[in-house]
Amino acid sequence: MKKYALVTGASRGLGRAVALQLASQGYPVIINYQSRTEAAQSVADEITAAGGEAELIKCDVSDPKAIEAAVEDWENRHPDDYVDVLVNNAGIRQDALMIFMQNEQWHNVLDVTLNGFFYLTRRLLKNMMTKRHGRVINMASLSGIKGLPGQVNYSAAKAALIGATKALAQEVAPRRVTVNAVAPGFIETDMTSELPVNELKKMVPVGRFGKPEEVAALVGFLASDSAAYITGEVISINGGLYT
């Protein structure tokens, strides 16, 4: 039996760094992504070049039928294996002041972050519970703790993800499955590439944006056996940018 790590939204940014980190910790990694096959393949190639194992699953996490089909297909190909570490990282932002926010902007952001977490985690949780070991790590955000103007949809999705993290942690703790959230501040990825970096970094006590690898190291720790007694937590990683 092999224990896999599945990272959603792992073709770029934080998900890519998390996939590389978990591979370096010895996990065979499933790289989920939505559209950028070439980028996802290059993450897999980087892992295999370093002696690890990786495979791709292209699937929109907000589509419950697509999730079911993708997981079923993977399970058919891996009858003896299971996903021991699930990192719900896929996320989008579609910012607008609420007064101008369209229904789609509200629904799209909640669909990927919150509904995606629900569909995929529910599907994979049973195996973790049966095997009596598992890690669920949810990529929240400072926005879900503090709330940020222009991001009512995103803040709501991330705050809901934090609530779900805390509730689920209590449901599954007796089966040695931990559920935690990571709440990054500003991290250098495509998602933040259009922000006014020079202005924003003045607000950060450490004086810079974070690197994806720094967030990945935290996720790697939460996935490890050393973190077995941490559950239901939200761990901020934001250069001192407190609420």
Q: Please state, as a whole number, how many other Cβ atoms lie within 10 Å of the Cβ of residue 103.
A: 7
Name which of 110 and 168 has its Cβ closer to ligand NAP: 110
199 binds ligand NAP (CB under 6 A): no
Q: State the Cα torsion 228-11-128-140 to the nearest 10°.
A: 60
Name which of 121 and 141 has its Cβ closer to ligand NAP: 141
CB of 129 to ligand NAP, least distance (A): 24
141 binds ligand NAP (CB under 6 A): yes
24 binds ligand NAP (CB under 6 A): no
Distance CA 226, CA 243 (A): 28
CB of 54 to ligand NAP, least distance (A): 14
Question: How would you label 75-85 residue by residue, b for 16+ Cβ within 10 Å and e otherwise?
Answer: eeebeeebbbb
Q: What angle do CA 221, 225, 229 make, to 5 degrees?
A: 90
126 binds ligand NAP (CB under 6 A): no
Contact window for ligand NAP (CB under 6 A) among 33-41, 44-52, 167-175, 226-234: 33-41
Among 28, 52, 134, 184, binds ligand NAP (CB under 6 A): 184
Exposed, middle or buried by CB within 10 Å (0-12, 13-18, 19+), for 162?
buried
Name which of 12 and 133 has its Cβ closer to ligand NAP: 12
231 binds ligand NAP (CB under 6 A): no
Rounded to whole angstroms, what are the CA distances from 9 to 19, 82, 102, 207?
Answer: 10, 19, 24, 27
- State the DSSP code for 178: E
CB of 70 to ligand NAP, least distance (A): 10
239 binds ligand NAP (CB under 6 A): no
Active-site residue, 154 included: yes
**Residues with Cβ < 8 Å from 220, sequence gap 6 or more?**
18, 21, 22, 24, 25
Positions touching ligand NAP (CB under 6 A) are 8-15, 32-36, 39, 60-62, 89-92, 112, 139, 141, 184, 186-187, 189-192
List, by residue number, the catalytic residues: 154
